Amino acid sequence: MKSLVFATHNLHKTQEVKELLAGKYTVLNLTDIGCTTEIPETGTTFVENAGLKSKFVLENYQLDCFADDSGLEVEALNQEPGIYSARYSGGKGDLANLQLVLQKMEGISNRKARFKTVISLMQDGKEHLFEGVINGTLRTEPSGTSGFGYDPIFEPEGYAKTFAEMSMEEKNQISHRAQAMKKLIAFLRA
Ligand code: IMP
């Protein structure tokens, strides 16, 4: 089986992606290749940040690699937190980030939000980009315990439950990351 590096330290994401690629690729993450560096995400878009990470691995480890950059975009907050999703509360963690979004959304009736993922694949020295989006709405309070990040407040369109009330398998059928990954997999098979 071929190996591919997924440029992340995040175990939740590694696990989700391993499931999506099971039987097709052996997915190694940054820890697996001995990379302990926190790769700087200094771009201003998801595309730039994903590219910074995949190119870092190629340049420093000479390995084919893909990297994703994802985040939550809330319509009434001018698409915030966006690329700042992981550090929205200034590094206080997932719960503080989620609470800040809820606080900023207090009294706002437009609850439309979406998760977006961009994947940058560096293969044979060339970059290929893949995008996934899932639309939904924000709850007024958290519900559910699975997943991570903003999952407890995000209800995907067409479902009466949050991402955090879904199993990983169910979320993997529809999520932004799964959609971008499906495009990546289709590309890798072609
Ligand atoms: P990353 O670029 O995929 O690491 O995502 C950046 C941040 O966006 C995460 O730290 C989370 O706060 C948020 N995020 C991305 N994907 C998800 C998801 O599937 N569920 C909940 N939050 C997410």
Strands 154-156 and 126-138, bridge-based pairing: antiparallel
Q: What is the pLDDT of residue 122?
A: 95
Q: What is the pLDDT of residue 186?
A: 86
For the packed helices 176-189 and 11-20, what is the interaxial angle rounded to 10 degrees? 50
- Residue 42: exposed, middle, or buried by beta-carbon count in 10 A (0-12, 13-18, 19+)? exposed
Write the pLDDT tens digit of every residue in 14-33.
Answer: 887 888 778 888 889 999 99
Residue 172 CB partners (closer than 8 Å, separation 6+): 16, 19, 20, 178
Residue 3 predicted with pLDDT over 90? no
Count other C-beta atoms under 10 Å from residue 161's C-beta.
13
For ligand 1, mutation pick of 52, 102, 150 (most atoms within 8 Å of CB):
150
Half-sphere exposure at residue 71, Cβ-oriented, CA atoms within 13 angstroms? 22
CB 45 within 8 A of CB 53: no
Coil/strand/helix, residue 108: coil
Find the 143 Cα to ligand 1 centroid distance in Å. Answer: 17
Write the pLDDT tens digit of every residue in 48-69.
Answer: 999 999 999 999 999 989 999 9
Structure-block tokens of residue 25: 């690729």
CB 145 within 8 A of CB 78: no
Q: What is the pLDDT of residue 10?
A: 86
Rounded distance between C-alpha atoms, residue 173 and residue 147, angstroms? 14
Q: What is the pLDDT of residue 19?
A: 82
Q: What is the pLDDT of residue 35?
A: 96
Indicate the domain borders of the chain: 2-189
- Residue 138: exposed, middle, or buried by beta-carbon count in 10 A (0-12, 13-18, 19+)? buried
Residue 190 predicted with pLDDT over 80? no
CB 17 within 8 A of CB 29: no
Write the pLDDT tens digit of every residue in 83-114.
Answer: 999 999 999 999 999 999 999 999 999 999 99
Strand partners, 4: 27
Write the pLDDT tens digit of every residue in 152-181.
Answer: 999 999 999 999 999 988 998 999 998 998
Write the pLDDT tens digit of every residue in 111-146.
Answer: 999 999 999 999 889 999 999 999 999 999 999 999
For ligand 1, mutation pick of 66, 72, 162 (most atoms within 8 Å of CB):
72
Nearest CA to ligand 1 atom 22: 149
Write the pLDDT tens digit of every residue in 28-51.
Answer: 999 999 999 888 889 999 999 999
Identify the CATH number of the domain defined by range 2-189. Answer: 3.90.950.10
pTM confidence score? 0.91
